[in-house]
Amino acid sequence: MIMRRPTLLLLLAPAVLLAGLLFVLPLFGVMRLSIFDESGFTLGPIAELVNSRVAVVVLERTFVLAASVTAICLILGYPAAYFMSGLKPKTRAYVTYLILLPFWISILIRTYTWIVILGREGIVNKGLGLLGVAPVQVLYTDLAVHIGMVQILLPIVIITCLAAMLDIEKDLMKAARSLGASRSQAFWKVFFPLSVSGAATGGLICFILSLGFFVTPALLGGRRSIIIANLIDLQVHQTLNWGFAAVLATALLAVTLTCLGLFWLVMRRRVEFTGAGLGR
Partner 1 sequence: MANLTRRAFNIAAASTALAAMTARAYAQSDVTIVVNGSGGSLAEVLKKLFEDPFTEATGIKVRSTAPVSLPKLKAMVESGNVEWDLTELNGDDVVLATEAGWLEPIDYAIVDPKNELPEVAKLPTAMVRASYSTVIAFRTDRFPADKLPKTWSDFWDVEAFPGPRSLENSPKGNLEFALLADGVPLDQIYPIDVDRAFAKLDELKDHIPVWWDNGAQHVQLLVDAEVNMTSCWNGRITPLKDEGKPVDISWDGGALMLSYLGIPKGAKHPKEAMEFMKFRMDPVASAAFVKVIPYPGFVPGMMELLEPEFVATLPTAPANAEVQFPFNSEWWAKNLEEVQNRWNEWLLI
> Where do contacts with partner 1 occur on this chain (CB under 8 A)?
53-54, 57-58, 115, 119-121, 137, 139-141, 218, 222-224, 226, 231, 234, 236-242
Q: Closest separation between CB of residue 161 and partner 1, Å?
A: 35
41 Cβ contact partners less than 8 Å away, ≥ 6 residues apart: 35
d(CA 95, CA 92): 5
Closest CA to 173 of 160, 164, 182: 182
> What's the residue count for the chain?
280
d(CA 47, CA 63): 21
Q: Closest separation between CB of residue 277 and partner 1, Å?
A: 41
C-alpha separations of 125 from 4, 110, 177, 219 in Å: 64, 19, 50, 18
Residue closer to partner 1 by CB (options 55, 161) is 55
Residue closer to partner 1 by CB (options 35, 163) is 35
Residue closer to partner 1 by CB (options 138, 200) is 138
Q: Closest separation between CB of residue 233 and partner 1, Å?
A: 10
Q: Closest separation between CB of residue 212 and partner 1, Å?
A: 18
Residue closer to partner 1 by CB (options 68, 141) is 141
Q: Closest separation between CB of residue 248 and partner 1, Å?
A: 12
Closest CA to 81 of 152, 168, 144, 145: 168
Helix (H) or strand (E) holding 121: none
Q: Closest separation between CB of residue 117 and partner 1, Å?
A: 12
Residue closer to partner 1 by CB (options 51, 184) is 51
Residue closer to partner 1 by CB (options 66, 226) is 226
* DSSP secondary structure code for residue 141 in this structure: S
- Are 62 and 149 a contacting pair, CB within 8 Å? no
- Are 227 and 61 a contacting pair, CB within 8 Å? yes
